[in-house]
Amino acid sequence: MKKIEWILLLLVLVGMFASCSSAKFLEEGEYLLNKNKVECADDRVDDSMLSEYIKQKPNTRWVWLFKVPLGFHLLSGKEGSSWVSRTLRKMGEEPVVYDRKMAERSCDELRLVLQNMGYLGASVEVDEKFKKHKVALIYRLNPGKVYRVDSVRMDIADTVIARKLQPVMEASLLKPDMVFDINVLDKERERITEYLKESGYYKFNKNYINYTADTIQGGKGVVLTMHLDLYQADKHTEPTVHPVYTIDSVSVVTEYDASYVSEHRLGEFQKDSYGGLDIYFQESSILRPSVYAENNYLREGELYRASDMQRTYSSLGRLGALKYTNVHLVEVPDSNKLNAYLMVSPSQLQALTLEVDGTSTMGDFGCAGSVAYQHKNLFKGSETFTAKVRLAYEALSGIQEYETNSYTDLGFELTLNFPRLLFPRLSSEFKRRVRASSEVGMNYNIQDRPEFSRRALSASWRYRWNSRQNLQSRLDLLDVNYVYMPSISPTFRDEYLNSVVSNSILKYNYDDLFIVRTGYSFSYASADAMERRSRSNYSISANVESAGLLCSLLSHVFFPGEHSPNGQYSLWNIAYAQYLKGDLNYVRNLVVNERTSFAFHVGFGIAWPYGNSSVLPFEKRYFAGGANSVRGWSVRSLGPGSFSGGDRRIDFINQTGDLKLDMSAEWRTVLGGIFCGAFFVDAGNIWTLREYEEQPGGAFHFDSFWKEIAVAYGIGFRLDLNFIVARLDLGMKAVNPAYSIDDKRHYPIIRPRWKRDRSFHLAVGYPF
């Protein structure tokens, strides 16, 4: 029996032990809370979403059946004090003893939720079902009739605000015949408050807005009145109209301490001025004065706006040279004006990091190390400069026919990031509106293997920006890569490149090559990272890129008729790649409750080599299988199409393609604490767009591609530490396109073989 089967059997036995032995840990008259259930008489109420309001939850069940965490706790013994007992208790979960008072509180909470939804006459009861030492609770919800708003009235004591709100109230969320939902009423308070905060009402908050609701006698209607009260500084002053504030002055203080302002100690600082800003510093300013001006949105003489405050916070917060940022507002005495102080403090500007890794490639082990230097304020504009050197070494086995039997990889990397848009002839106001960063980078990589030596030089110029919340964009304006092969072993050339096992795909990737590309990509998430666990959401990302247009122009203008040794158009006698590529990914996450969710993923990619290229560069080709693809196959072992591979020595090249389709569905649940589990089904494959002799069955055809879609299923275990997720997935083949549809081996789900059909994947992060 395999180790994984022993583990699964052990967990089942522990869960069964919990069901049988929990009574030993209960006192007389105590019952183990076994189950909660919510039943509602009204189909319009989603009773599954109300479960979160129940105060006492039963012990965690793994895979809906077994209380494994409780079993670990029971195995520790009631009074065990050994290290084994302590360890089991830490892994486990104490028995949840039924508390009737908590059940009554849950009823009150559920009743309040229903009333807030418009069911003012709702009632909730709990039924207790006792069986031996366990109890199951059924919360029965009787909402009654829903109350609706009969009419909406406005009572706004501040006549100035009443006039301001007239155009805004046309889009009011409060309408006759709407359900009397407290949540909607609160959203209307927030909407009006946000509007007034954008109109100079610095001291306004939603507590100035309240409602009265009078029920219509004998009916289910509500006369709703929204009241907006006058401003009152404190209980000793008379109510008056709400004051409108303007910005009187804006200053920068390079110390994160508001006492310097409140205690009038700014005279201890040196002072500089730029663009309407007064900048106070002790020895020297952290940043150039112009940088503060570019990232400040509070303007002298303009109305106070909450959005200007938020934009200032966001802009200053993304500057790596600043550790803390606070906008401190001080009222000017006897006026409706505000002095704004941007309080900032520097982060650690320079850092040196050292990393050491272990490496393993196809069973060969080695080590790698890197040294990186970073400066976060190179030109006093929060420019981040990074220099990195990485060295890796592996001792290779099974290559006695070569002169050496080791692999070394030496890399140099330089990047410089500017927290602003660098582009000629753009106005400063446009650059302020677009929160962009610019990056230039250069890499040089030296690879020496027994079979060949490879040099890769790349340089890039790219932009990143957020055009709206949760939407991120990236433009690779220019990305130049030059691959140079200074030497190839005669043995490797004879046995692979010039032998019968050779193919055009393999040869192409051992020639000198220029890749000059331009690309654009974006990603959008409907919820931010904090919300994704609590509510359903989706995300979409896309990428398009083109390579070779600039090279083609330069080649035909400056090097007409020049060809590389393999017959391609070239620059300086070096061939260049030409292709178009596009990718699209969609992820949908449906949250069932606080413990369970369903996730779905669809990914599609296509790349077309043209002109000077009949084959895509290896780095741009698609592959299938692995931890983030069809998990019944190991990485790069599936496809293209029905191609099953041949010579494993070169299948890392052969099992790649020009088109990719990925589909996944995953049920995710919290098993207990940081332990999570999943069931998944994956489907997909890769194909080539051209027929290649070396990849029989690999080309895409509309009338038959559906027969070549691979399917896998499996289970996964995850350790979710919030900041990182460690994942172990076991995938099993269900449909194998390497065999014809008439072959029994096409459906390994019917006759699975453990050694042939399983694949383990250890990874970091969720697959999608």
Residue 114 lies inside a defined structural domain of this protein: yes
Residue 648 reports pLDDT greater than 60: no
pLDDT tens per residue, range 300-345: 999 999 999 999 998 999 999 999 999 999 999 989 999 999 999 9
Confidence at 71, pLDDT banded by 50, 70, 90: low
Say which CATH number the domain at 194 has.
3.10.20.310
Claim to verify: residue 120 and residue 202 sit in the same structural domain: no
Claim to verify: residue 665 and residue 693 sit in the same structural domain: yes
Degrees (nearest 5) of the Cα angle 152, 156, 158? 165
Residue 477 lies inside a defined structural domain of this protein: no
The whole-number average pLDDT for the span 151-165 is 93
When mean pLDDT is compared across 207-221, 233-247, 622-636, 703-717, the lowest value belongs to 207-221
Claim to verify: residue 722 and residue 646 sit in the same structural domain: yes
Q: How far is CA 76 from the centre of its chain?
A: 39
Query: Distance (Å, rounded) from C-alpha 5 to C-alpha 2?
Result: 5
Residue carrying the six token digits 């940081």: 674
Residue 721: what residue type? L
Query: Distance (Å, rounded) from C-alpha 376 to C-alpha 320?
Result: 6
CB atoms within 10 A of CB 566: 12
When mean pLDDT is compared across 77-86, 122-131, 276-285, 522-531, the lowest value belongs to 77-86
Q: Which residues of 385-405 are buried (b: 16+ CB within 10 A; e: fewer)?
A: bbebebebebebeebeeeeeb
**Number of independent structural domains in the chain:** 4
Structural domain span for residue 290: 246-346
Claim to verify: residue 764 and residue 645 sit in the same structural domain: yes
| Per-residue model confidence (pLDDT) at position 1 | 40
Cβ-proximal residues to 166 (8 Å cutoff; 6+ apart), any chain? none
Claim to verify: residue 630 and residue 760 sit in the same structural domain: yes
Residue 20 reports pLDDT greater than 60: no
Cβ-proximal residues to 424 (8 Å cutoff; 6+ apart), any chain? none
pLDDT tens per residue, range 547-578: 988 888 888 888 776 676 667 788 888 888 99
Residue 35 lies inside a defined structural domain of this protein: yes
Residue 58 lies inside a defined structural domain of this protein: yes
pLDDT tens per residue, range 688-704: 998 887 788 889 999 88
Residue carrying the six token digits 């990091």: 353
The single-letter DSSP state of residue 295 is T
Select from 228, 263, 284 the last residue of a domain.
228
Claim to verify: residue 323 and residue 258 sit in the same structural domain: yes
When mean pLDDT is compared across 24-33, 375-384, 497-506, 543-552, the lowest value belongs to 497-506
Residue 23 reports pLDDT greater than 70: no
| Per-residue model confidence (pLDDT) at position 531 | 65
Select from 142, 157, 187 the last residue of a domain.
142
Q: What is the 3-state secondary structure (H, E, C) of 688-743?
A: ECCCCCCCCCCECCCCCHHHHCEEEEEEEEEEECCCCEEEEEEEEEEECCCCCCCC
Claim to verify: residue 175 and residue 108 sit in the same structural domain: no
Which residue blocks in 198-343 are alpha helix, DSSP H? 259-262, 289-294, 306-317
More confident of the two residues 449 and 252: 252
DSSP 49-103: GGGGG-S--PPP-BTTTB-HHHHHHHHT-SS--SHHHHHHHHHS----B--HHHH
Claim to verify: residue 184 and residue 83 sit in the same structural domain: no
Range from 192-196, 277-281, 345-349 that averages highest in pLDDT: 192-196
Q: How far is CA 297 from the centre of its chain?
A: 29
pLDDT tens per residue, range 728-768: 999 999 999 999 888 888 999 998 888 888 999 988 889 98
| Per-residue model confidence (pLDDT) at position 399 | 63
More confident of the two residues 500 and 189: 189
pLDDT tens per residue, range 334-383: 899 999 999 999 999 999 999 887 655 555 567 889 999 999 999 999 99
Claim to verify: residue 49 and residue 132 sit in the same structural domain: yes
Degrees (nearest 5) of the Cα angle 163, 247, 196? 30
Cβ-proximal residues to 90 (8 Å cutoff; 6+ apart), any chain? none
pLDDT tens per residue, range 664-678: 999 998 877 788 889
Residues found in the chain: 768
Nearest to 374 by CA among 435, 419, 415: 415
Residue 66 lies inside a defined structural domain of this protein: yes
Degrees (nearest 5) of the Cα angle 83, 89, 91? 105
Claim to verify: residue 30 and residue 67 sit in the same structural domain: yes
More confident of the two residues 25 and 735: 735
Residue 253 lies inside a defined structural domain of this protein: yes
Nearest to 638 by CA among 620, 621, 651, 619: 651
Phi, psi of 491 (to 5 degrees): -65, -45
Query: Distance (Å, rounded) from C-alpha 530 to C-alpha 494?
Result: 57
Average pLDDT, the chain: 85
Residue 511 lies inside a defined structural domain of this protein: no
Select from 86, 115, 142 the last residue of a domain.
142
Range from 323-327, 393-397, 423-427, 474-478 that averages highest in pLDDT: 474-478
Claim to verify: residue 627 and residue 768 sit in the same structural domain: yes
Range from 37-46, 464-473, 597-606 that averages highest in pLDDT: 597-606
Residue 689 lies inside a defined structural domain of this protein: yes
**Coil, helix or strand at residue 680:** strand
Say which CATH number the domain at 739 has.
2.40.160.50
* Strand partners of residue 409: 392, 447
When mean pLDDT is compared across 29-38, 168-177, 537-546, 678-687, the lowest value belongs to 29-38
